[in-house]
Copies of this chain bind each other. A is one copy, B any other.
Amino acid sequence: MSVLKNNSNGGLSVNRLLATLPKNEYKRLLPKLKTVNLILGEELYEPGEAIKYVYFPNDSIISLISELSETSWLEVGMVGNEGMAGLPVFMGVSSSSTRALVQGSGTAMRMSSAAVRKEANRLGSLHRLLHRYSHSLLNQVAQSSACNRFHLVNARLARWLLMTNDRLGLEEFPLTQEFLSTMLGVRREGVSKAAGALQAAKLIRYSRGMITLLDRRGLVAKSCHCYTIIKAETDAYLN
């Protein structure tokens, strides 16, 4: 076995929502949590189907996707170590109309829906945090909504890469333009053009489904202000 990182981030990053819990509450939850490996492309739940588990990503990323038709997909939210995928369960609903797709491989802490439902009936730190996270996620979705409506593909691509980078903690990650086109809600050709522009500006490098961020600051400059806004809100709620 290699001495190299055995997951995409060397296990260094942990779920910040869980990490914010007071020790005793975390200890109480621990037996209900199981570390699992999430793999790019894996589907965690589908629209209309019962959600079996919720996930607290460590160094993985989960995309929440809305589908209008077979061909029109759009990422409406991104869940990383700052949050939890499966909020509907906590909210007392067994299924969601969005799809949860693993967008970045890595580990996550998994909890059964039954356990989550029990937690929803107990007022405590987790309850309080999940409330604040819900608000943060709603803001993210709202901001992205306006962003997707008004901003150009180049800026949105830059924002998306930055958000992914923040959550994976890596400068290099595997992603095809095809996949990106789904996330951004544009055609694959559009991604090709936008990514080409970013590469020409030496901000990223990519080849056959592997993207490397070269100049984070430059990307922020190219991205829309939405990135900063979303990041600020996401970071703020954990305090």
Q: Which residues of A contact B (CB under 8 A)?
A: 64, 66-68, 72, 74, 76-77, 87-88, 90-93, 96-98, 120-121, 123, 128, 131-132, 134-135, 137-139, 141-151, 185, 224-226, 229, 233, 237
Flag if A138 contacts B141 (CB, 8 Å): yes
A87 surroundings in chain B (CB, below 8 A): 135, 138
- Report Cα–Cα, A143/B87, bound state, in Å: 16
- A90 CB, min distance to chain B CBs, angstroms: 7
- A195 CB, min distance to chain B CBs, angstroms: 19
| 16 A-B residue pairs with CB within 8 Å | A68-B146, A72-B150, A74-B145, A76-B142, A76-B145, A77-B142, A90-B131, A91-B134, A91-B135, A92-B131, A93-B135, A93-B237, A97-B233, A134-B138, A137-B138, A141-B142
Flag if B72 contacts A146 (CB, 8 Å): yes
- A181 CB, min distance to chain B CBs, angstroms: 13
Tell me the dominant secondary structure on chain A's binding face.
helix
- A78 CB, min distance to chain B CBs, angstroms: 12
Flag if A141 contacts B145 (CB, 8 Å): yes
Flag if A146 contacts B91 (CB, 8 Å): no
Flag if A144 contacts B146 (CB, 8 Å): no
A131 surroundings in chain B (CB, below 8 A): 90-92, 120
- A22 CB, min distance to chain B CBs, angstroms: 16
The chain B residue with its CB closest to the CB of A132 is B92
- Report Cα–Cα, A98/B233, bound state, in Å: 12
Flag if A185 contacts B97 (CB, 8 Å): no
- A194 CB, min distance to chain B CBs, angstroms: 16
A237 surroundings in chain B (CB, below 8 A): 93
- Report Cα–Cα, A74/B150, bound state, in Å: 9
With A74-B150, A87-B135, A185-B149 in contact, do A92 and B128 touch (Cβ < 8 Å)?
Answer: yes
